[in-house]
Amino acid sequence: MPHFTKPPEGSWTEHYGLGTGPISYEDSISPAHYELERDAIFRRTWLNVGRVEQLPRKGAYFTRELDAARASVVVVRGTDDEVRAFYNICRHRGNKLVWNDFPAEETSGACRQFTCKYHGWRYNLAGECTFVQQEDEFFDLDKADYGLVPVRTDVWEGFIFVNLDPDAPPLHEYMGELGAGLAGYPFHEMTQVHRYRSEVRSNWKLYIDAFTEFYHAPVLHAKQAVAAESRKLQSVGYEALAYKVDGPHGMVSSWGGMSPPKDLNMVKPIERVLHSGLFGPWDAPDIGLDELPPGLNPARHPAWGLDSFLFFPNFMVLIWKTNWVLTYHYWPTSYNTHIFEGTCYFVPPRTARERLAQEMAVVTFKEYGLQDSNTLEATQTMLESRVVTEFPLNDQEILLRLLHKAAHDYVDEYQGHKPEAPVRVSAAS
């Protein structure tokens, strides 16, 4: 018997027409398929590269290495306060324009103009070429023809996105109903940032799989709760309050019984002192929100604790009841490696006690993340053995079906096929 109401079809998976058969993981272990994904997905969808707070003033910039999209971009706030992005390449002879020490590493800073390290060509913050060294030596060269190559850039709720496809639909349309449902959430209040990065030896989709289902939590993370509570969690298992699917994007809405816990004996000693843990600080700071945006806690359930959104392909936003936010990004570097970024955003602490409560939430996230990452390497290597090729997914794993179907659909469309109805996730396809 479900603890929380499911749709009339009897399951979330059938409600959203995602098929119920076992799925193939060939899309996560095939180098050839990954090459298709790079062009079909990462060069054609909106990719979140940062937040506006990372560009606090005119001339502030950061670079992003989009290995999967075969691109490096520089994102900058112009003298007119517009956020723009450009391919990070000098128009003279193709040197990478903005980098420090190691060309492959991302960098950030502030400047009045960009100057190429190689021959000193300069570009202003709007990308116009303003200086060519020994211009007279060139032949009929007009600087106006040699501006930086722009990349489509747009901002959703303070999150900066780029899209390498000039023909892609606009960002706000792409973000769909799930994006619209978060409009007005005060992300800008949460400027206290802790960011973590990991090089993970698995396909990018496997980590998203791990973080879009909570079915694993009572088992893999069993030891993170006190023993009696852990046994209880495992015997009850996990059920979400609700799932939503819109286009390639999905979300899971979850209860959050630990923030604060019903009984202090449910949590570890340090959590009892700091009033914080996996679900974040128990005391929610004021963020000026009288009512949740319609996209949050869609079931309007009193036990609500967090909502986790996957914006295809590689951007997740977790919004917690106690007014803090986590984002995850997954940047592929090959068919079986990727870079994971996890970022915690809090309202700046007023006191050191609040700072300690935030540290507790951040460190707990890291401990869980370390458990998750290593499981992924173990999964990747065994999937590659192809000993087993079909895998059953339950109803609480619906967002995995969605992710793999969406990724397949983009590849199919890129190859000129119409996506098959209803899904391309069955092992037989």
274 lines the binding site for another protein (CB under 8 A)? yes
Nearer residue to another protein within complex by CB, 79 or 374: 374
CA–CA separation, 243 vs 149, rounded Å? 40
Q: What does the alpha-carbon distance between residue 38 and residue 30 come to, in Å, rounded to a whole number?
A: 13
343: left (phi over 0), alpha (psi -120 to 50) or beta: beta
* 192 scored as a contact of another protein (CB under 8 A): yes
Residue identified by tokens 């986790």 is: 308
Q: Does 327 bind another protein (CB under 8 A)?
A: no
Nearest to another protein of 151, 376 (CB atom): 376
Q: How far is the CB of 184 from another protein (least distance, A)?
A: 26
The answer for residues whose C-beta is within 8 angstroms of residue 283's C-beta and 6 or more apart is: 275, 322, 354, 357
Q: Least distance to another protein from the beta carbon of 388, Å? A: 21
Nearer to another protein, 240 or 376 (CB): 376
Indicate the SS3 state at residue 357.
helix
Cβ of residue 384: shortest distance to another protein, in angstroms? 17
* Amino acid (1-letter code) at residue 165: D
Q: How far is the CB of 327 from another protein (least distance, A)?
A: 12
122 binds another protein (CB under 8 A): no
Distance separating alpha carbons of residues 189 and 315, to the nearest angstrom: 20
Least distance to another protein, CB of residue 304, Å: 27
38 contributes a contact to another protein by CB under 8 A? no
Q: How far apart are CA 169 and CA 24, in angstroms?
A: 30
Q: Is 67 in the site for another protein (CB under 8 A)?
A: no
Helices (H), 74-196: 171-180
Query: 148-187 mask for another protein (x: CB under 8 A)?
Result: ----------------------------------------
Give the binding range for another protein (CB under 8 A) out of 181-189, 278-286, 352-360, 398-406. 352-360
Q: Among 53, 246, 359, 412, which residue interacts with another protein (rule: CB under 8 A)?
A: 359
Residue 219 touching another protein (CB under 8 A): no
- Residue 216's nearest CA partner among 378, 331, 363 is 378
363 interacts with another protein by CB under 8 A: yes
Q: Cα separation of 364 and 358, whole Å?
A: 10
For 266, phi then psi, to 5°, come to -70, -20
Token match 């000693």: residue? 269
Closest by Cα among 260, 344, 255, 244 to 294: 244
Give the CA count within 13 Å in the CB-facing half-sphere of 246. Answer: 16
Contact range with another protein by CB under 8 A, out of 281-289, 293-301, 355-363, 404-412: 355-363
Question: Does 374 interact with another protein (rule: CB under 8 A)?
Answer: yes
124 contributes a contact to another protein by CB under 8 A: no
Q: Does 224 bind another protein (CB under 8 A)?
A: yes
